[in-house]
A and B are shown apart, each in its own frame.
Chain A
Amino acid sequence: MRIFIFLFIVLQLNSVYAGVEFRQFERAELEARYNVLIDELRCLVCQNQNLKDSNSDLAKDMRDKVYQMISEGKSNQQIVDFMVERYGDFVLYKPPFKTTTLLLWLGPLLFFVIAMIVLFRIIRQRTQTESVEITAAEHQRAQALLKSTLKKDDAS
């Protein structure tokens, strides 16, 4: 029901296709900045789309705003701040680095460190393992032995 209601609210639903627009820029550098910004800002009403890929009314308004601010000579940071002030961090596809996103940004590094410790321990253990290669026959016998002890364990 909750989501059902929401379907009524969004400004325009059929917005999955690209919003192609024609804009003129004074310099190529401004156009490049514009393209990066509309690529990394999120359209709020869409199903996970950036401003560039959405054709919703809101995305169009937001693109207009980005274009306008770029033309006025605003910096990327100013434009991003402007959007965040109004819509929150949600508009940023690249989450800012702060306390609440600490784990997000450092997570991969943390995984890597843990993995390296584990790897190091496994290798140390394996290189120090005394067991020598066993023949297939021995292997089978060992398996049989293991199995019988397992059964005993289960029974007890």
Chain B
Amino acid sequence: MIPEFGQFALIMALIMAILLATLPLIGAAKNIPAWVSVARPLAQAQLLSLTVSFGCLVYVFIQNDFSVLYAVNNSNTRLPLEFRISAVWGAHEGSLLLWALTLGVWTSAVAVFSKKIPDVMIARVLSVMGFISIGFILFILVTSNPFERIFPAPLEGRDLNPLLQDFGLIIHPPMLYMGYVGLSVAFAFAIAAMLAGKLDAAWARWSRPWTSIAWVFLTLGISLGSWWAYYELGWGGWWFWDPVENASFMPWLVATALIHSLAVTEKRGSLKAWTVLLAIFAFSLSLLGTFLVRSGVLTSVHSFASDPERGLFILIFLVLVVGSSLALYAWRAPEIKSNTRFSWFSKETALLLNNILLVIATATILLGTLYPLIIDALNLGKISVGPPYFNSVFVPIMVPLVALMSVGVFIRWKQDSVQRVKKHLLIYLLISLVLGALSTFAMPTFTLGAMIGTTLAWWVVLNMGYSFKQRFKAKGISWDGLKKTPRAIYGMHIAHVGIAVFTVGVTLTSIYSTEKDVMLTPGGSYSLAGYDFKFAGSKRIVGPNYHGERAHVIVSKDGEMIADLEPEKRIYTVQRSPMTEAAIDAGFFRDLFVAMGEPRGDQGGWALRLYHKPFIRWIWLGTLIMGFGGLLAATDKRYRKVK
């Protein structure tokens, strides 16, 4: 009964979504207050239905109800409880339901937290979100029903893909979806503003906190995915430029651009048309990502079991949503007048440059991701576009962006003078170069790449300090002044420092990581980057749904013991797939990483892969700092006030 109830709740959610997409919109257009006022209750009813539906699916998994096909394919009685729950979103159907639920959560949140925004505006916003919701719920019901029964019901399920039986995968998809779907809020605000013909600074002000929050989720979601790939796949890498990763990174880049252009639009009433376009782009790219991941047009390590029929459905949906928004844009945008003046040396120009570079980066990634598809569609064969391409084109775009960002934070709106900042910039550049050089000399070898990376990082950090101090002018920094400084100001500076930390991590890890595949018999050892890895032997292990071998590796430096690492090699019984569980000794300045290969010889020898990864933690630390900064900015009091 429960699965049918879940499906019924989903149909209820669809009805709520249809009502939400139509009534308030018509009400707003024809001035019928009663129809406008149903928007908020409908949003709540939709969330309730979706929660019930999702709850039913969770129940199916907890109860091991193998009369449900989706549970059969992705669960097993011996799967630990926490993974039975996360298995709900471990494959296509359930993850789509999570998508729909997430959209329900955002819709409801907009309904609750926008009490001060005019009802008509909110009615339009909720309607747009309702329309998106229709698409996704229909998609689930028509092509990917997670409640589908199977008869006769098997006694046992096929188990969850072992790669997904991991803590990181419990939280990564919900976080990422909160980010993806969160971008629909800014999108809905932009569309609503266009529908109303009111593309003033107000909509920008309203959507700013929503965009920031979505951006925070997206940042953390992507970062979690990268962290998971790092320790779970055993490749020691943290970013592979895989189409699915790119699909999450492109909306992030555009959302970052959007956050900045929203600031210009809100504060200066400039770039209005452009900001609307970015809001459309950000969400469109997140829909495009859904298409790429689920249609099977591209091969990826992370893609779901795909099916062209599903691809067709999403494509049609994409055409409806994005096509109509861009058509609306083509119709409404020419009416927008932004006639504010700014000089070539101003914050406006700096933020415009930021936007341009971020959009170029996005376009480049899109080009690289879709290029194999283009070549194939033109019947010119098959090619691969991978990390060597992306790294070589992406880094040259990011270096100037990071360099300019540090200047952009403190130059003035409208007009600033080069004279005013010239001296400061020269001195700071010099200090950064010196500090960068010193940092690089502390590394094992001197490389130009490390010099550029560390100098950039210092440049950012120093300028953030300078910019923050500038806010207090001659008065000096006082406790009172610090308290009065808005959270958004803290947030902005902190987020940019996060970029600096991230830059250090990426640069130093890419340049100074060392790795080695070795063959060790018990008692044998190998020295990598000054660390002695001693293989003490291995023993058999038995887990709830797997068995395998666990190695014991003792790491020491200069005779002093540093870590006991116990990597595992598991065979998951049901899917009979081998998995490596890498063992990592995480440190602030370096990670030591051991993964098991194959047994060798008859003396208990094993092939092991050893890694030394300097500064890799800084990558995720940087994203955490960015996320924290974003959170501060999003929760600034100013956004909660009525204008």
Contact = CB atoms under 8 A, between A and B. Distances in A.
Chains A, B in direct contact (C-beta < 8 Å): yes
Interface of A: 2-3, 14, 16-23, 40, 42, 46-50, 52-53, 55, 88-95, 100-101, 103-104, 107-108, 111-112, 115, 118-119, 122-123, 126-127, 129-133, 139, 143, 146-147, 150
Interface in B321-375: 335, 337, 339-344, 348-349, 352-353, 356, 359-360, 363-364, 367-368, 371, 375
Contacts of A92: 383-384
Contacts of A130: 341
B371 A104 contact: yes
B393 interface: yes
Which of B243, B298, B578 has the most A CB atoms < 10 Å from its CB?
B578
A2 B353 CA distance: 46
Contacts of B243: 48
B386 A47 contact: no
Nearest to B388: A94
A104 B387 CA distance: 14
A88 B382 contact: yes
Interface string B50-64: 000000000000000
A19 B301 contact: no
Nearest to B609: A20
B235 A18 contact: yes
Contact of A93 (B306, B386, B519): B386
13 contacts: A19-B597, A21-B597, A22-B517, A22-B518, A88-B382, A90-B384, A95-B383, A100-B380, A108-B396, A127-B344, A130-B341, A131-B339, A139-B269
B152 to A, nearest CB: 23
A139 B200 CA distance: 10
Given A17-B580, A21-B597, A115 B300 contact: no
Nearest to A96: B383
B577 interface: yes
Nearest to A94: B388
Nearest to B332: A150
B367 A104 contact: yes
Given A53-B233, A103-B367, 20 more contacts: A3-B296, A14-B578, A18-B595, A20-B608, A21-B598, A40-B387, A42-B386, A48-B386, A53-B235, A55-B578, A88-B381, A89-B383, A90-B381, A93-B386, A94-B386, A95-B383, A108-B397, A130-B341, A131-B341, A132-B341
Interface of B: 163, 197-198, 200, 233-235, 237, 240, 242-243, 269-270, 296, 298-301, 303, 306-308, 335, 337, 339-344, 348-349, 352-353, 356, 359-360, 363-364, 367-368, 371, 375, 380-389, 393, 396-397, 517-519, 575-580, 595-598, 600, 607-609
B523 to A, nearest CB: 17
Given A48-B242, A108-B364, A20 B517 contact: yes
A103 to B, nearest CB: 8
A107 B517 contact: no
A88 B356 CA distance: 36
Given A90-B383, A95-B384, A131 B340 contact: yes
A18 B515 CA distance: 13
A52 to B, nearest CB: 8
B342 A21 contact: no
A119 B356 contact: yes
A22 B600 contact: yes
A114 B28 CA distance: 40
A111 B389 contact: no
A127 B339 CA distance: 10
A1 B609 CA distance: 38
Nearest to B600: A22
Contact of A48 (B300, B340, B597): B300
B342 A127 contact: yes
A41 B381 CA distance: 17
Contacts of A103: 367, 371
A119 B299 CA distance: 36
A101 B360 contact: no
Contact of B596 (A20, A123, A126, A146): A20
A145 to B, nearest CB: 11
A141 B388 CA distance: 55
Which of B198, B335, B363 has the most A CB atoms < 10 Å from its CB?
B363
A93 B341 contact: no
A104 B368 contact: yes
Contacts of B197: 147, 150
Contacts of B337: 146
Contacts of B307: 3
Which of B308, B368, B371, B579 has the most A CB atoms < 10 Å from its CB?
B371
B234 A129 contact: no
Contacts of A93: 384-389
A127 B609 contact: no
B375 A123 contact: no
A91 B303 CA distance: 20
Contacts of A50: 386
